[in-house]
Structure 1
Amino acid sequence: MHKLLFGDNQFFGINHMSEEKARAQAIRFRDTEAIMEVLDAAYDEGIRTFMCTTHDRIAEVCKVVRANPDRYADFQFYPCMPYAHKYANAVTEYGMMGALTHFMPEDGLLKTVMRSGTALATKDADGIAKVLIDAEMKMFSGLSTPVVFMQNVFTDLLLGMGYTKAFRVFHDHIRAKYKAEPAFITMNLPMLADALASEGISQPIICSNINKVGFRMCGGLDQYRNVLESGKIRAIAMSVFASGAIPAREAIEWVAGLKGVESIVFGASSRGNIRNTRDLVRDYMGGL
């Protein structure tokens, strides 16, 4: 993995400290062209990895990148799925069963299975999960996707339910079909690390909040540090600035000093902020 990854929260009006700023960002980035301007700035500053949800707008970004192979020769995506809001909206519109069948292939056998009401059986659920993963991955066809994430809303739901087998299904399918590294986003790094180990998943890539003040770090700093120092996971740190609560240099210097953190993912809306973060990561992590 690269040491610095570019995230997409700012493009979809997500800001954990300011609803006003989130609304302004959502308005600013309502056009794909505005998103591409920022992605181009990040790319030109040397950042080559875009860690993104499977939001419908990302499909438009994929089309632009696919249509310009020379411009984005070494650009890669790290898809994060499922995009929970997309499925929540579908449930509202179509109902639970209708939402699931909505994302199935029109001619798929699993659609018939769903309609017959037998999909709650574990075997069928595993098959449906794989089809849904494939549906989410379709927008990235022909593009580089070396790492694929399970989104935190889904990861932590499964974690809370104790249904850890689903992590293994996701892990094996991503490796077998896409020849990619399966990865997981969570709000509880210590608990997820234990759950993945119980399923025999070794050295997993886990993305979670990691910052100096413990912002949104379920379990606390000490438990996170213990997991990182164990050497049993490959960590990606997000929310390193704690939504602006920590000065950039102080935040990155602290995270870079932690054992087990391989990468930082961040979001920015301006070339200046992108360049500043890039320079700090080069200073404290030895490159991009």
Structure 2
Amino acid sequence: MQNHKILLVGDNPFHGVSHLSQNRARSRDNQISNPDYCAELVKIAIENGADGFMFSVSEITLDIIRALTEKKISIKLYAIAPAASDYVRLASKLGTPGMAIYLAKQIVASGNLKAIFNGFNGVVFQNPAALMKAYLYYEIFRIRKASQSKQAPYCFLLHEIITEMALALNLEWLFKSFVEFMLDMKIKPGFETRNSPLLIDKLLKLGIDASKVVIVAPYNKIGFQMNPSKEECEKALTDIPQTEVIAMSILASGYIKPPEAIEYINGVSQLKGVVIGVSREKHAEDFKIFREALDGGVQ
């Protein structure tokens, strides 16, 4: 189908994340921390129409990908890095310098020569772009090792914390270097954000071809997490009609019912897809309903 909307499985429940209530996240079944169980949920969602898996790069999700690989499940991967929660825990335990040393040791231990070389150059010549490339090589290496694929991932997105920081500090070099690096790696570059108008404006001002990137941002009927406003977020989409924009938080963490959520998504033609988390088999099976509803809304 020419205008097939992308339907992705999200990993927030696998990390115990609920944007509405932390108590709700804690109350979820303990099985959700089992990689094999999570992999089975992703598998069921794929069988019911999901196109891929969007995940923060962590040992939890890499174990899930390993389990999917063992099950011979071929899946399009949308990676997000860094996994903020992992590095926050490391920093609180080791301190920021200790975390940096730990990461450097992990990069060296990986044996990835490109990561090691860029890391060395970054330190010696105080080159932040080289340091970034070292980190990206390392994360890509981890994903490819887990998935046993030299082509993975399809898309690599910068976590919203990095995106928003780069926007706030006007780190133009970061946007340009990241996009150029990923395109050279034959990976689609992407950005996760809670302020899509600001990001879109920055990309266009930098002359970055927006049709070659993926943007993941909140889009939903009630404007949940849509900054600075629902209206401005929707208006910004008209400037990037060819960009792969994936809507997250479409259910507003359970506040919006699925039929209403899909009706809204289908009504915003510039949105190319959605990402929805799963924590139970019923949620995964419901992807068939989402698939049919999304396809039914395509004109």
Structure 2 length as normaliser, TM-score?
A: 0.85
Q: Of the candidates 236, 240, 243, which is equivalent to residue 246 of structure 2?
A: 236
Shift of the alpha carbon at 1:165?
2.0
Structure 2 match to 1:181: 188
Residue 136 of structure 2 is aligned to residue 136 of structure 1: no
Question: Would you say how many aligned residue pairs link Structure 1 and Structure 2?
Answer: 279
Q: Of the candidates 194, 210, 215, which is equivalent to residue 206 of structure 1?
A: 215
Secondary structure (helix, strand or coil) at the match of 1:29 reads helix
Going from structure 1 to structure 2, the CA distance change for 1:103 and 1:254 (only over 3 Å counts) comes to same
Structure 2 match to 1:276: 286
1:5/1:266 contact within 8 Å kept? yes
Q: Distance in 1 between matches of 2:86 and 2:291?
A: 33
Please list the CA deviations of residues 18-41 of structure 1 after superposition, one character each: whole Å capped at 9, or x if unmatched: 222211237332221221221222
Which amino acid in the other structure matches residue 84 of structure 1? A
Shift of the alpha carbon at 1:173?
1.1
Identity %: 23
Which amino acid in the other structure matches residue 168 of structure 2? G
Residue 104 of structure 2 is aligned to residue 95 of structure 1: no
Q: Of the candidates 42, 55, 58, which is equivalent to residue 55 of structure 1?
A: 58
Alignment of 1:15-34 (within 5 A): 15-25=18-28, 27-34=30-37
Secondary structure (helix, strand or coil) at the match of 2:221 reads coil
| Highest RCO, 1 vs 2 (Cα 8 Å, sep ≥ 6) | 2
Q: Of the candidates 201, 213, 217, which is equivalent to residue 226 of structure 2?
A: 217
Q: Distance in 1 between matches of 2:26 and 2:274?
A: 25
| TM-align CA RMSD | 2.4
Secondary structure (helix, strand or coil) at the match of 1:280 reads helix
1:49/1:75 contact within 8 Å kept? yes
Q: Of the candidates 150, 175, 179, which is equivalent to residue 171 of structure 1?
A: 179
1:62/1:139 contact within 8 Å kept? no
Residue 155 of structure 2 is aligned to residue 147 of structure 1: yes
Shift of the alpha carbon at 1:176?
0.7
Q: Which runs of 5+ in 2 are unaligned?
A: none
Shift of the alpha carbon at 1:198?
2.0
Shift of the alpha carbon at 1:76?
1.9
Structure 2 match to 1:161: 169
Shift of the alpha carbon at 1:103?
2.1
Shift of the alpha carbon at 1:277?
4.1
Q: Distance in 1 between matches of 2:264 and 2:230?
A: 12
Structure 2 match to 1:85: 85
Shift of the alpha carbon at 1:287?
8.6
Q: Distance in 2 between matches of 1:184 and 1:51?
A: 13
1:184/1:207 contact within 8 Å kept? yes
Which amino acid in the other structure matches residue 86 of structure 1? D
Going from structure 1 to structure 2, the CA distance change for 1:284 and 1:42 (only over 3 Å counts) comes to closer
Structure 1 match to 2:259: 249
Which amino acid in the other structure matches residue 193 of structure 1? I
2:176/2:208 contact within 8 Å kept? yes
